[in-house]
Amino acid sequence: MNGWYGKILRVNLTNSTTSVETVDPQFAKDYIGGRGWAIKCLMDGMDPKADALSPENLLIFAAGPLTGSPAPTGNRYMVVTKSPLTGVLTNSNSGGDFPTWMKRTGFDMFIFEGRAERPVYLWINNDQVEIRSAEHIWGKQVPETTDALLAETDGKAKVACIGPAGERLVKAAAIMNDKDRAAARSGVGAVMGSKNLKAVVCQGTHQIGMADRPGMKKLSQSMNQEVGHDSKTSVLRIYGTPYVPDVTNELGILPTRNFQTGRFEGVEKINGPALNESFLIRPGACFRCPIVCNRITKVDAPGYEGEGEGPEYESIGALGSACGVDNLAAITKANYLCNEYGMDTITAGMTIACAMEMCEAGIIPEEEIGYPLKFGDADGMIEFVKKMALREGFGDKLAEGSYALAESYGRPEFSISAKKLEFPGYDPRGAKGMGLLYATSNIGASHMSGDLAYAEVFGTPEKIDPLTIENKPELIKRFEDAFTLIDASGLCVFLAVRYVFDKDVNLWPTRLTELMNLTTGADYTPATLMQAAERVFNLERLFLLEAGVTKADDTLPKRMLEEPLTEGPAAGQVVELDEMLPRFYQVRGWDENGVPTPEKLAELGISA
Amino acid sequence: MNGWYGKILRVNLTNSTTSVETVDPQFAKDYIGGRGWAIKCLMDGMDPKADALSPENLLIFAAGPLTGSPAPTGNRYMVVTKSPLTGVLTNSNSGGDFPTWMKRTGFDMFIFEGRAERPVYLWINNDQVEIRSAEHIWGKQVPETTDALLAETDGKAKVACIGPAGERLVKAAAIMNDKDRAAARSGVGAVMGSKNLKAVVCQGTHQIGMADRPGMKKLSQSMNQEVGHDSKTSVLRIYGTPYVPDVTNELGILPTRNFQTGRFEGVEKINGPALNESFLIRPGACFRCPIVCNRITKVDAPGYEGEGEGPEYESIGALGSACGVDNLAAITKANYLCNEYGMDTITAGMTIACAMEMCEAGIIPEEEIGYPLKFGDADGMIEFVKKMALREGFGDKLAEGSYALAESYGRPEFSISAKKLEFPGYDPRGAKGMGLLYATSNIGASHMSGDLAYAEVFGTPEKIDPLTIENKPELIKRFEDAFTLIDASGLCVFLAVRYVFDKDVNLWPTRLTELMNLTTGADYTPATLMQAAERVFNLERLFLLEAGVTKADDTLPKRMLEEPLTEGPAAGQVVELDEMLPRFYQVRGWDENGVPTPEKLAELGISA
């Protein structure tokens, strides 16, 4: 096959065995790759009701057909598994260099099953696969782990690993690659920790076949130029994602003090210009990426010293404004700590924000925390990031995530989450489509699952009214399917800033279809490619339903549904989810309970 | 003072003493900084007739007032000294991180005089200045030297050093900083080697005063955005300078086989897309730079393995097309070697190209070279880069540069150089202004001294006919002064892609004037700032005249003056230097022998 190798590496950690499976070409095409292949293997290979931290759960690393191709941003991989934080599916995406090196091993996907008796890591050098002891690196932070593994394998290899948070089964634990890049959300690092799998190290010389290599080179070059010259990607190089706080604050949807408001008085201290002037060393990029959105930073401020990558906008929102913290040195330090311990900055920051509000409200007694945890306390925020990662003291409760924390005090409404996954940095009361997305995404409140903020906040492909609910169900279906396609193909969502939807042609992913066909030789049309993405999305929904999700779980916190924002352009607004959800089910071809109809499944070729 | 510290560190290597000098504010303003301050100190402190490799020569590292400021690209320093390659002045510019770290030491400039008895390096940590033994690192290549010095000083410091080429007084030797950045031209590394100075290591916490910090931040932010969104800088991020071979080849001015022609049949194998597809790891940037033009690369091809930065366009031209080499792996490898040995890729490549032509013509006997050195021989090119850097065998002759090489066989016309400095990558027969620049630049054939290719080749600020000589004397004066200003202020010439000349206001550097005033508090107008640059340029000319340069040296090789190009849009063209030069002298206010008139000197406030 072209594009795909059609080879899956299966690693049974319980028995310390590995095997190679070949993939049927029709399956390859029907499920695209990446997130798509992975959900099919997850569905076929495990009981969706299984405990996420049990050996029954499968942990899947999946590259797409465009990962490692010349396509701009063609360098992402997905971690797909059942989430211990949410109890439902997750898929978590990362870039850096690792995804291309993963593809160079000659496999499209790694499936980890079972649990190793003692800590191990996997060393894959082309077809040489070794399960090696990781006892000597267990307990080490991400940078030390990475350096140690490069030293004992091949200095030119690439490493994905967990840190102390993953080892301790912290439900915000991430899988880190290339030290600072994260497949962060939903506790994928805890699943890896539960399997006693410390790291995966990849090196290889395989090159994917290409149906039309000259054509692919030509198209990729021209897209590279277009995306490199695009003003919507240029801003990502100038400021990185930290250009966003100003935008969301202006719209009144910057998460502030656990979403009590959407405007933060300290925004100018934590925005892109502030980061550029204080801590930026230089912009950085994932492998061969023309967008260059990373921030290579260094903090010299006493007490906050460190260096690494970030913070991204989401980390600034969660560790900063959501916690009422306007100290950018502290936010950046906390971001470094999350990377070093291997922990999702969003769940970490938002869970601490939740604890701050509950402590201020007297619901969590200060004595229990052992500290007066209040909004605006930069050093307290940092301290509890550490405690959370290490499950020390009250950190043990934080480590379960905001929903479990709030529920344990009988007040789950303080957790600003959907399906127990903490919200990212867009208050949906001022961006209604995002509310519907958070409620219906297959992994909980993730902007990465169909980021309508592109249109509602940033005007891509064109600006739409963020406050209306009209047409939002239709758009969310479209965006969810499109982002599924990006994830499945192995591209970065930032390419979507320019390419996924061509507004001139009815939101069809025409250029992605060309890339896919030149690479794989499949004769996708924009319609059949979007249908394949819809197939993937629906299969994910079936996994959720089998795991026990019902219509009642497609919801949002009370604050979003009943408490209007009080300032800014969205003052007075809540999310009218009840009005959008039934229409969304209809648009999706699901029944009134959110279950795909037999007709829809037949149309998509999914056998029930 | 603001902008400037007004402090010069003087290091007498003969006596192992250091002293600190303060600068008069009027001098600071009159000579801007960087290249401007340096020529005044050179003029006052040494005999222009002194041997460049003698202890009498001064080696000056000079930062400008905008170095280390928030101004976009405000991160350059200049090396100013008498050149051993050309026998005249040189100023050589570099970026990376070192220039900002240099400024953080609290000094604007370092002046090295005399010669150490044994190898030493300088370690400057704020006001702590130490001359330390470098015997243990003498002989080491640039990366090893850098790592060793970081380990024994401060891992966060920044290093400028020479490699084996500088130690051996190779006249193409560079001073390398941050491993891969080079103050490359005219043999500045040999001057450093002649002083037994292996390296300068900088660390510090000083911050320059700013006349109007909020105003400077605001302007810099807005310029950062403008330059970051500019399509002429975007192409530098997408392809780096390797986007240029296609452009110059199209115009028939890509140096090919020692400038025998301007069109290279192998151009598509050595251009930007080829580099992106084969060896690019990711784009890279100097400190806080929004342009991101560096290429972080890695070569796995057997026999050419290596990693580092580059190649830039100039290196591709010199080591590639000028040598008839279309093997990009070999060019990239040779570029790595030049960086590791510490050697200018332009002089290295062009000198080997000169030797190839003379060998093919039978003027240099093959037996003397010990190798059939012919155009197109990639491995021969690499081999002689090594030999040149180490002065091994025939490499000892190459190490003197193309002019000395060709002259030693009685055929200096085979050296394509001006004032003995090898041409960069624009054949001036197809870009006439560049011909006048090469002939009149104060350092010899340098594009960096007033790069009219911006207008003649790239259309900045607007496209002008490259084949006409009309108005070229006026433009070259304007460009030479403007590039002097950029060098003196501490900015990068790539900012000039957008800013130096605002075509709407008569080619005045209005934005640079604002940056300078906000930083220094000096009340420059665009006119007085350009006049200060003109003052610097004229003082440099006086240095040349005192060193013995005459009108006869303001010339070009016979090939440029008498042998027309044979293909492409510039077929039939030569450089009509005789027609441009008298007018240029006039425009400059110089007499018919190229000597500044007393009136011009009085106007500029230079006392004879």
CATH number at residue A380: 1.10.569.10
DSSP 8-state symbol, B258: T
B281: Cα separation from own chain's centroid: 26
Q: Which of A28, A74, A34 is nearest to A499 (CA)?
A: A74
- Residues A442, A408, single domain; the answer is no
**pLDDT grade for B497, boundaries at 50, 70 and 90:** confident
Q: How many CB atoms lie within 10 A of CB B228?
A: 24
What burial letters (b/e) apply to B108-133, b meaning 16+ CB within 10 Å? bbbbbbbbbeebbbbbbbeeebebbe
Q: Which residue among A70, A273, A283 sits closest to B277, beta carbon to beta carbon?
A: A70
- Residues B447, B502, single domain; the answer is yes
> Which chain A residues have a beta carbon less than 8 Å from that of B231?
229
Contact between A570 and A251 under an 8 Å Cβ cutoff? The reply is: yes
Length of chain B as a residue count? 608
Q: Which pLDDT tens digit goes with each residue over B94-148? A: 999 999 999 999 999 999 999 999 999 999 999 899 999 999 999 999 999 999 9
Look at residue B1 and tell me if it is in a domain: no
Q: How many CB pairs under 8 A join A and B?
A: 79
* Tokens 């994830």 found at: A487
Q: Which pLDDT tens digit goes with each residue over B221-236? A: 999 999 988 888 899 9
Contact status of B283 with chain A (Cβ, < 8 Å) = yes
Residues 6+ apart with CB under 8 A from B58: B41, B42, B45, B46, B81, B82, B111, B112, B113
Mutate to test the interface with A, among B229, B232, B298 (most CBs of A within 10 A): B229
Computed from CA positions of residues B148, B153, B157, B162, in that sequence, does the dihedral angle turn out positive or negative? negative
Indicate the Cα dihedral angle A470, A473, A476, A481, nearest 10°.
-140
- Residues A77, A160, single domain; the answer is yes
DSSP 8-state symbol, A385: H
Q: Which of A269, A327, A272 is nearest to B290 (CA)?
A: A272
State residue A12's pLDDT score.
98
Mutate to test the interface with A, among B98, B213, B225, B498 (most CBs of A within 10 A): B225
- Residues B282, B371, single domain; the answer is yes
Q: How many CB atoms lie within 10 A of CB A26?
A: 10
Q: From the CA of A494, how many Å to the nearest CA of chain B?
A: 16
Domain holding B42, by residue range, is 7-203
Q: Do A273 and B217 touch (CB under 8 A)?
A: yes
State residue B503's pLDDT score.
62
DSSP 8-state symbol, B400: T
Residues 6+ apart with CB under 8 A from A137: A119, A121, A144, A145, A148, A149, A198, A199
Contact status of A282 with chain B (Cβ, < 8 Å) = yes
- Residues A313, A410, single domain; the answer is yes
State which of A355, A388, A421 marks the end of a domain: A421
Q: Which pLDDT tens digit goes with each residue over B298-347? A: 999 999 999 999 999 999 999 999 999 999 999 999 999 999 999 999 99
- Residues B381, B446, single domain; the answer is no
Q: How many CB atoms lie within 10 A of CB B506?
A: 10
Indicate the Cα dihedral angle B228, B229, B235, B239, nearest 10°.
50
Q: What is the secondary structure of A364-384 as a DSSP string?
A: S-HHHHTS---TT-HHHHHHH
For A242, the token pair is: 């930290």
DSSP 8-state symbol, B323: G
Q: Please, what are the averages of pLDDT over each run of 10 residues along chain A (608 residues)?
A: 95 98 96 97 97 98 97 96 97 97 98 98 96 98 98 97 98 98 98 98 96 96 90 91 97 98 98 96 96 96 96 98 98 98 98 98 97 98 98 98 98 98 98 98 97 93 94 95 96 84 65 95 94 98 98 98 97 98 98 98 90
Look at residue B229 and tell me if it is in a domain: no
Q: Do A231 and B235 touch (CB under 8 A)?
A: no
Q: Do A234 and B234 touch (CB under 8 A)?
A: yes
> Which chain B residues have a beta carbon less than 8 Å from that of A283?
285, 289-290, 292
Look at residue B227 and tell me if it is in a domain: no
B510: Cα separation from own chain's centroid: 25
Contact status of B126 with chain A (Cβ, < 8 Å) = no
Contact between A237 and A293 under an 8 Å Cβ cutoff? The reply is: yes
State residue B596's pLDDT score.
98
Reduced to 3 states, what is the DSSP secondary structure of residue A497?
helix
- Residues B523, B481, single domain; the answer is yes
What's the rounded Cα separation, in Å, for the pair A301 and A321? 20
Look at residue A410 and tell me if it is in a domain: yes
Total domains present in chain B = 3
Contact status of A289 with chain B (Cβ, < 8 Å) = yes
- Residues A435, A501, single domain; the answer is yes
**pLDDT grade for B178, boundaries at 50, 70 and 90:** very high
- Whole-angstrom CA distances from A357 to A39, B18, B386 are 37, 59, 66
State which of B388, B421, B454 marks the end of a domain: B421
State which of B363, B392, B421 marks the end of a domain: B421
- Residues A575, A599, single domain; the answer is yes
What's the rounded Cα separation, in Å, for the pair A370 and A404? 19
- Residues B191, B163, single domain; the answer is yes
State residue B29's pLDDT score.
97
State ipTM: 0.89
State residue A509's pLDDT score.
85
Computed from CA positions of residues A533, A536, A542, A547, in that sequence, does the dihedral angle turn out positive or negative? negative
State residue A505's pLDDT score.
45
CATH, residue A480: 1.10.599.10
- Residues B449, B393, single domain; the answer is no
Contact between A67 and A100 under an 8 Å Cβ cutoff? The reply is: yes
Contact between A123 and A201 under an 8 Å Cβ cutoff? The reply is: yes
Instruction: Name the residue of chain A whose CA is nearest to B300's CA.
Output: A205
Contact between B90 and B443 under an 8 Å Cβ cutoff? The reply is: yes
Q: Which of B332, B327, B331 is nearest to B296 (CA)?
A: B332
State residue A46's pLDDT score.
98
Look at residue A578 and tell me if it is in a domain: yes
What burial letters (b/e) apply to B436-457, b meaning 16+ CB within 10 Å? bbbbbbbbbbbbbbbbbbbbbb
Contact status of A126 with chain B (Cβ, < 8 Å) = no
Look at residue B544 and tell me if it is in a domain: yes
State residue A502's pLDDT score.
63
What's the rounded Cα separation, in Å, for the pair A411 and B602? 83
What's the rounded Cα separation, in Å, for the pair A420 and A425? 16
Look at residue A235 and tell me if it is in a domain: no
Q: Do B281 and A273 touch (CB under 8 A)?
A: no
Q: How deeply is A301 buried, as exposed, middle or buried, from its count of CB atoms within 10 A (0-12, 13-18, 19+)?
A: middle
For B154, the token pair is: 């401060």
Instruction: Name the residue of chain B whose CA is nearest to A205's CA.
Output: B300
Q: From the CA of A307, how many Å to the nearest CA of chain B?
A: 11
Q: Do B281 and A289 touch (CB under 8 A)?
A: no
CATH, residue B78: 3.60.9.10
What's the rounded Cα separation, in Å, for the pair B419 and B439? 8
Look at residue B574 and tell me if it is in a domain: yes
Contact between B358 and B406 under an 8 Å Cβ cutoff? The reply is: yes
In Å, the largest CA–CA distance within chain B is: 67
- Residues A555, A495, single domain; the answer is yes
Contact between A282 and A296 under an 8 Å Cβ cutoff? The reply is: yes
Mean pLDDT of B364-389: 98
Mean pLDDT of B36-48: 97
Contact between A223 and A288 under an 8 Å Cβ cutoff? The reply is: no
